[in-house]
Amino acid sequence: MNEKLFLDKRAQAIPISQKEYLIFLLKGLYFYLINDLEKFLDKEGRYYGSMVSNIRKIRVSIKSIENPEDDLISQEEMINRIVYLYKPIIIQEYKKFLKKRVSKADSIICICKRIIDTVGPILYSEDFTEEEEHAVDTIKTIIESFYNNIKNRNKEYSCSTLTDLLSTCIDESLVGSYESERFSILREEEQRKKKSLLNGSGIRIDSSDFKLTEISWTDE
């Protein structure tokens, strides 16, 4: 991926601290990814016991991190613009894991692991409260435990497109030029299947996502 071209088309810089950016990033991306993880685990017959309680702990931890107060832009808009920026790359990385025969739930876990590994060092360098640090530690520990239980060696795929993008956008305080009100990989898959049934397999280009061409699904 040409990162510069991608960012020129999809991103804009805003005056926001790294701490604020990271909080909105976790609250946005992790909120939607954990929702998908829960659904995929259930479909794979793995959503029971400690998995249920750990997913609950992640949600509680995300909610316990206080939203920054910023008069420039609303919290909801900030989260939606961050989701808009990263959404196509997360879908792209997810598809790569599937091609490597990593399960759908495990693919989400791997992406969550790459995100927390990338932002973790930055998080701990910021002025977080003790409660916020505990919340981040809890999320990181649980995701690492999920990841360590994955037997497929292809879990080690680096997600370099996503991690490089995260590093650049955090450094430059880049968010989406538009908002994406919701994000669900499961929903994207269901839409892909409907299109495939109606039109047959092949390349799909969907330009309806806030005026910009959106990376969509291809049956290969």
What's the pTM value of the predicted model, to 2 decimals?
0.83
24, part of any domain? yes
Phi, psi of 176 (to 5 degrees): -70, 150
Per-residue model confidence (pLDDT) at position 115: 93
CA distance 161 to 157: 11
pLDDT at residue number 220 = 43
pLDDT score at 70: 56
DSSP 8-state assignment for residue 13: E
Whether residue 139 lies inside any domain: the answer is yes
Q: Residue 213: is its pLDDT beyond 50?
A: no
Single-letter amino acid, residue 92:
Q
Residue-level pLDDT at 89:
94
214 within some domain: no
Q: Is the pLDDT of residue 16 over 60?
A: yes
d(CA 122, CA 12): 21
62-66, 160-164, 214-218: least confident range: 214-218
Question: How many of the other CB atoms lie within 10 Å of CB of 190?
Answer: 11
One-letter amino acid identity for 89? I
Higher confidence at residue 100 or residue 215?
100
| Res. 208 pLDDT band, cuts 50 70 90 | very low
Of 80, 152, 158, 151, residue with least CA distance to 113: 158
Q: What is the mean pLDDT of the chain?
A: 84
Confidence band (pLDDT; 50, 70, 90) for 126?
Answer: low
pLDDT tens for each residue of 154-203: 999 999 999 999 999 999 999 999 988 678 888 888 777 777 666 655 54
191 inside domain: no
- 3 inside domain: no
In a domain, 190, yes or no: no
Q: Residue 142 has what pLDDT?
A: 95
> Is 62 inside any structural domain?
yes
Domain limits for position 101: 13-184
Rounded alpha-carbon distances, angstroms, from residue 29 to 20, 83, 112, 218: 14, 6, 9, 23
**Residue 202 forms part of a structural domain:** no
Count how many domains the chain has: 1
